[in-house]
Amino acid sequence: MSQPLRGKRALVLEDSALVAMELEDFLLGLGASSVGCYATSAEAARSIEHKSVDLALCDVNLRDGSSLALVDELRGRGVRCVLLTGYAEIPDGGAQVESVPVLRKPVSHADLERVLREVVASGAADR
């Protein structure tokens, strides 16, 4: 198996622990290392304050509300983000996530891998 995410530090923001485990395992399988899985934006923001992160998989609707504010902050720090949502439409605040890829749940491994490769490639091109 190729490791397109080798050397990338990845974060999972998802309130279902089982879905988070699966996403984390998938990222590890693609060669990434895990920064952690978090169920709320607040907890994630606290935990990564002094950590470096390259990549984030974020569910849009968490129990403590929308994750879009945190996604914005992560992007400001240069973190490549991919959004996951169970909603057909991105809720209020959707405008601020333009240019961030969005995947509808449930996500197939093939789609997720394709989007992750694109995101990492565009990140490399930026530098």
Partner 1 sequence: MREPSEADLRIILSHLPEYVVVVDEDGCYSWVNRLDPTLREEDVIGKRIDTYVIVPEEKTEIWQRAQEALNHGKSGELVTLGFREGEYETWFWCRVVPLPPDERGRKRALLVSRDETRRVRAQRALARSEERFRRLVESSPDYICILDERRTIVYANRLGFGLREDELIGQVFDRLVDEPSRTNAVATVDRVLRTGEGAVYESSVGVPKGASLHFRVQVVPWSSDSGEKQVLLVATDVTEEYRANEHRKVLHAELDHRVKNMLALVSALASQTARHSDSLGQFQESFTGRLRSLATTHEALAASGWRGLPLVDIVRRVVSPLAGAQLDVDVPPGIEVAGPYVTPVSLALHELSTNAAKYGALASPAGRVRIEGARGDGADVLVWTESGAATAQSAAEGFGLRLVRRLVEQELGGRVALTLLDDGRRYELRLPRRGVA
The residues that touch partner 1, with contacts defined as CB under 8 A, are 15-23, 25-26, 37-40, 42-43, 61, 63, 84, 86-88, 104-107, 109
What is 97-119 written as a DSSP string?
GTTS-EEESSPPHHHHHHHHHHH
Question: Least CB distance from residue 16 to partner 1, whole Å?
Answer: 6
Angle made by CA atoms 108, 86, 25, in degrees to the nearest 5: 40
Question: Least CB distance from residue 35 to partner 1, whole Å?
Answer: 13
- Considering the complex, state which of residue 36 and residue 123 has its C-beta at the smaller distance from partner 1: 36
DSSP for residue 95: G
- Considering the complex, state which of residue 19 and residue 119 has its C-beta at the smaller distance from partner 1: 19
